[in-house]
Amino acid sequence: MEEIVLKGIVAATIFIFVAIFIIILVTYKFYWSKVEQNILHVHSILKSQEDERRRIAIDIHDSLGGILSVIKIKIDLLMNLSFENQDFYKDNLKESHSLLLLAIQEARNASNALTPEAIKNFGLKGAINDLVRDYSKFFEVDLINGLSDISNKNVQINIYRMLQELFNNSMKYSRATKIQLEVVQNSSLIKIKYSDNGVGFNFNHARKISKGSGLSNLKYRVDFLLGKMHFENKNGSTFFFHFDLNKCLIYEN
């Protein structure tokens, strides 16, 4: 009888120890699960802040940097010419003045939600038309603009900045005289083709040797919108972009 009681006590003791061990183990796992969740949450916040800082830096580069570069080109041109053609000087000074006003406006935008004024006023489709109109002073531009309304501000801003950077690159490096831009939308799918007849270049090589350049920013924006990009270097430079708005909507403001 005593042996049975002793076995019962031992079994109960073992059961209690096992139960306590299980409780401690579950509590430990729950605690570290919470800690891990908090760490991931903090990491997510820090990553979002860093991504936002990078987007701000990219927006400043792509907007103000491009406009100021064009102004510099025009001023350099004026400085290297004689003063005989006063009408030419007046026209270029007037255009430079307009670009300076645009740069001032972009600086305001950089501190106010980083939304280009053209998008605020006209939406993305109208902003693209306005962008093409500005650069038509320097290139022959063929435009097909088949966009519908896009409400997502992140999509609007990033696509606009991408096109702005492409025009700026053509202005600064390509020695192009003609640009073709096609923007078509089929339901949630947006396809963009941008090509110029310039000297062309190796996109991947140029991006590697120019860290922090507009080309790196271009790739970053495509990745940010979960899009796809393809580049061809034939009779100039051609960029193809593909975006699915259903994926982009996860970045809704």
How far apart are alpha carbons 57 and 77 in whole angstroms? 29
Per-residue model confidence as pLDDT tens digits over 89-106: 677 777 777 777 777 766
Whether the full predicted model's pTM is greater than 0.85, yes or no, is no
Q: In CATH, what number does 123-253 get?
A: 3.30.565.10
pLDDT confidence of residue 45: 46
Where are the alpha helices (H) located in 80-226, listed in sequence order? 86-111, 117-135, 153-169, 203-209, 214-224
Spans of all domains in the chain: 1-114, 123-253
pLDDT confidence of residue 157: 87
How far apart are alpha carbons 44 and 62 in whole angstroms? 26
In this prediction, residues 99-122 reach a mean pLDDT of 70
146/48: higher pLDDT: 146
Nearest to 125 by CA among 203, 183, 80: 183
How far apart are alpha carbons 20 and 26 in whole angstroms? 10
Q: Return the half-sphere exposure (C-beta side, CA atoms, 13 A cut-off) of residue 123.
A: 8
What whole-number percentage of the chain has pLDDT above 90? 22
Name 166's Cβ contacts closer than 8 Å, sequence gap at least 6. Answer: 194, 218, 239
How far apart are alpha carbons 221 and 224 in whole angstroms? 5
For residue 11, give both structure tokens.
């079994």
Of the ranges 11-20, 60-69, 128-137, which one carries the lowest mean pLDDT score?
11-20
Per-residue model confidence as pLDDT tens digits over 7-16: 566 566 666 7
